[in-house]
Amino acid sequence: MKLMAGNRTQQIRQIAMLAVLLVVAGGLVYTRLSPPITKVTTQASNTPAATPRATSPAGALPEALKLASLEPVPEASMGLRDPFGFGVPPRPAAPPPPPPRPAPVYVPEPPLKPVGPPPRPQIPVKFLGFAEESGKLGKVVSLSVGGLVVLTREGDVVDGRYRLLKVGLESIVMTYLDGQGQQTIRQSGG
C-alpha cells in the first residue's frame, strides 16, 4: 500500500482512516498504562456529617436498597415537596377559607311608645259667630256647647272646663282650664 497514492478523494479517505487508527491505539495505550480508578461516593443524607465510603471491587453488584429503613413521607405533604429545595422546609398549607357570613335576620322594631301624657281629647265646642257691642271692649262670641248656645268674651270660662283665649275673624283659640290642650276651632256657622 502506497501512502498518498491515488486521486484527491482517495487521499482524504486514507488520512481519515489513519486518524481513526491513531485514536483507537492511543485509547488502548492509556487504559493499559493508567492505574485503576476507585470510585468514592457519599451517603445521601440530610445530616451534615455524611461519611464517604469506598465502592466494592470491580465486577461486584451494588448494595441493595433498604426501603424499610427510609423515613416514611406523610401523605398530606405529597404535593408540597420540592425535589430541588434540599434542606428547605416545605411551604405551610394555605389557611382555610373564612366561614360564610350568616344572612341578616330581619327583626321588626317595636312600635314607638308616645312620650309624655296622652293628648287631650278634642274640645266639643262649635264656633257659631261673634258680634261687637257698642261701648264695651272685646267681641261677644256665640258658641254651641252640648246643644246649648253660650255667649262669652275673651278670657271667660266656658262650661266650667274650657277657657276662650283669643277671638279671630274666622276662628277662635280655646284651651282646658289648666292651660294644656290648646285648640283652634274654625267658624262652623250653624
Sheet holding 157-158, edge to edge: 157-158, 162-167, 171-176, 183-186
For the full predicted model, state whether its pTM sits above 0.75.
no
Instruction: Pull the grid cell for residue 14.
Output: 486514507
Give the residue with greater pLDDT, 189 vs 168.
168
Tell me what the mean pLDDT of segment 64-81 comes to.
72
How big is the CA angle at 35 (ends 30 and 38), to the nearest 5 degrees? 120
Q: How far apart are alpha carbons 53 and 62 in whole angstroms?
A: 13
Q: What is the per-residue pLDDT for 169?
A: 86
pLDDT of residue 157: 92
Residue 66: the pLDDT is 86
CB 149 within 8 A of CB 163: no
pLDDT-derived band at 41, boundaries 50, 70, 90: low
Between 94 and 41, the higher pLDDT residue: 94
Domains in the chain with CATH codes: 1-31 (no CATH), 125-186 (2.30.30)
Query: Three-class SS string for the chain?
Result: CCCCCCCHHHHHHHHHHHHHHHHHHHHHHHHHHCCCCCCEEECCCCCCCCCEEECCCCCCCCCCCCHHHCCCCCHHHHHHCCCCCCCCCCCCCCCCCCCCCCCCCCCCCCCCCCCCCCCCCCCCEEEEEEEECCCCCCEEEEEEECCEEEEECCCCEECCCEEEEEECCCEEEEEECCCCCCEEEEECCC
Q: In angstroms, what is the C-alpha Rg of the chain?
A: 62
Q: What is the pLDDT of residue 81?
A: 63
